Copies of this chain bind each other. A is one copy, B any other.
Amino acid sequence: MPRVVDHAERRATLAEAAATLIADAGLDAAGLRQVARAGAVTTGAVLHYFDSKEALLDAAYAAVMARLAVRQQSGPALDGLDTAALVAHIASFLPVDDKALRDWRVWLAFSARALVDPRFAAQHRAAYARITAALAADLSELPNAAALADALVALIDGLAIRIMLEPGDWPPARVEAVLMTFVRL
């Protein structure tokens, strides 16, 4: 079904264009016209793939959250690692390269918007339920797996904000020292 594939691909491409605009300049920079321009299509073409600006933003947010979740689930089981490997693995969840940084910037923009927009709060809630359930499964041999998963997610989110807003102040050694306080549990 090539047309179905094309449709899904084009939707994904436009959602990524929106995500890049949001990462660069905030949610207000991802209007239909700007996304159309970034995707080298007309506004009408964007509206062929998405019913509304809201649907486009939903798709951009969903794509970013799916990627952040995969990053936290693509490694080995957390409880099978030695301390150094565990710290390195957890550090890899953070905005440590340009692609991850872009996704984390979009995450923060939507997190703030979710305070005043229930649609995005619902998306946040569903994504976090998936992420913490997967981490808790990774840690399931520990008696407090659910609390450890919640703590790890909170620690990563809080660190991500500081790394983004204080570039240059967070060399790998500082990140590792913080993660060591968690890993030594």
Measured CB to CB, the residues of A under 8 A from B are: 24-26, 28, 105, 108-109, 111-116, 121, 124-125, 128, 144, 146-148, 150-151, 153-159, 161-162, 164-166, 169, 174, 177-178, 180-182, 184-185
Contact = CB atoms under 8 A, between A and B. Distances in A.
Contact of A116 (B26, B156, B178, B185): B26
Contacts of A184: 185
B151 A161 contact: no
A5 B75 CA distance: 58
Nearest to A157: B158
Nearest to A23: B115
Nearest to A152: B181
Main secondary structure of the interface of A (DSSP, over half): helix
B151 A155 contact: yes
Contacts of A146: 177
Contacts of A180: 144, 147
Given A157-B157, A158-B157, A115 B26 contact: yes
Contact of A169 (B112, B125, B147, B162): B125
A115 B150 contact: no
Contacts of A111: 108, 112, 161, 165
A114 B164 CA distance: 9
A162 to B, nearest CB: 7
A63 to B, nearest CB: 19
